[in-house]
């Protein structure tokens, strides 16, 4: 069971995973050692899966973010495994989900420019034997960046 302090700790770590135990102690009203023990327990129990830095796409030369919907021509386990293997090799894909509805998969991709996005679609996705249709949605503006999970 997570208590209120655990939930607040998780919420704060989502905002800034580099926050120190001392800083968290002030926020939570606990000692730094209590915070460190709670954090370790939450890691051990699998509530915290890891830590990551948020990078600036533009500083890395990534000017286009898109969501790409994939409809499969075949729905066999082999086709799904083959497509999953393709996606695993795509450095541009930062997320992939299976969906209900007409599209089978949704990819989140980052590319340098529209030409690179076109290259990805035309020369890597569409030639795959199990892919029937690809539809891309280019992100014009990000109104709310990924903000973490709601911790209630």
Asked if residue 152 has pLDDT above 90, the reply is: no
CATH number at residue 82: 3.30.70.920
For 1-12, how does the pLDDT look when each residue is reduced to its tens digit (9 = 90+)? 899 999 999 999
Q: Could you tell me the pTM of the whole model?
A: 0.87
Are residues 101 and 28 part of one domain? no
Domain annotation covers residue 148: no
Total domains in the chain come to 2
Torsion region of 50: left, alpha or beta (phi above 0 gives left; psi -120 to 50 gives alpha): left
Sequence-separated contacts (24+) of 27-35 with Cβ below 8 Å: 30/5, 35/9
For 63-93, how does the pLDDT look when each residue is reduced to its tens digit (9 = 90+)? 999 999 999 998 999 999 999 999 999 999 9
Alpha-carbon torsion (101, 104, 107, 113), positive or negative: negative
Asked if residue 148 has pLDDT above 90, the reply is: no
């Amino acid at each position: 069971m997570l208590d209120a302090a655990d939930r607040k700790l998780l919420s704060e770590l989502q905002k800034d995973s580099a926050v120190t135990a001392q800083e968290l102690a002030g926020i939570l009203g606990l000692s730094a050692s209590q915070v460190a023990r709670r954090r370790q327990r939450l890691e051990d129990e699998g509530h915290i899966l890891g830590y990551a830095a948020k990078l600036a796409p533009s500083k890395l030369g990534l000017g286009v973010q898109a969501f790409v919907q994939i409809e499969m021509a075949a729905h066999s386990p082999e086709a799904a495994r083959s497509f999953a293997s393709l996606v695993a090799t795509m450095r541009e894909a930062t997320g992939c989900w299976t969906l209900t509805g007409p599209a089978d998969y949704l990819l989140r991709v980052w590319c340098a420019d529209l030409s690179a996005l076109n290259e990805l679609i035309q020369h890597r996705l569409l030639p795959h034997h199990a892919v029937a249709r690809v539809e891309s949605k280019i992100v014009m503006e990000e109104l709310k960046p990924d903000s973490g999970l709601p911790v209630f």
